[in-house]
Amino acid sequence: MIDLSGKSAILTGGASGIGRATAAVLAELGAGVVIADLDAERGEEVAKEVGGVFVRCDVSRAADCDAVVAAAVAAHGGVDVLFNNAGIIRRSTVLDIAEDDWDLVMAVNVKSILLMSRRVVPLMAAAGGGSIVNTGSGWG
């Protein structure tokens, strides 16, 4: 079994689905877990279940991403694992999708990976390493 005792993990989109399940596994393996999600009610619920920390976060906003990383550093001293899991979908055709919907999907599903990763990479490098996992679901 993997032992993540003393390690810190951030999970975006951690209030439901793949993120919620992953939070439970990481906590079971001993990691300190930080849940980042827009859904405060469900995010707080998951954090309580796994003994973690919840931070309400719009992953398309740099300031929100910075706040999540700061919370992880404050709670656990650093970031060892980043699980970029937040994602949304707008079902439409190229002819029908509104530009605002396209921009939102790209900001949540793609830009958020940049925003979160560029904040944790220097911390991971200074600590001698870490892991970044980018995920998607069948909906993607």
Is the pLDDT confidence value at 1 over 80? no
Confidence at residue 27, expressed as pLDDT on a 0 to 100 scale: 98
Is the pLDDT confidence value at 63 over 90? yes
Cα gap 55→44, rounded to integer Å: 8
By C-alpha distance, which of 13, 89, 90 is closest to 57?
Answer: 13
CATH class of the domain comprising 8-134:
alpha beta
Give pLDDT tens digits for 4-32: 999 999 999 999 999 999 999 999 999 99
Confidence at residue 136, expressed as pLDDT on a 0 to 100 scale: 81
71 and 34 Cβ atoms separated by less than 8 Å: yes
35 and 15 Cβ atoms separated by less than 8 Å: yes
Q: Whole-model pTM?
A: 0.94
Confidence at residue 139, expressed as pLDDT on a 0 to 100 scale: 63
Structure tokens at 104: 């939102």
Can you spell out the DSSP letters for the chain?
----TT-EEEEETTTSHHHHHHHHHHHHTT-EEEEEES-HHHHHHHHHHHT-EEEE--TTSHHHHHHHHHHHHHHHSS-SEEEE---------TTT--HHHHHHHHIIIIIHHHHHHHHHHHHHHHHT--EEEE---TT-
Is the pLDDT confidence value at 38 over 80? yes
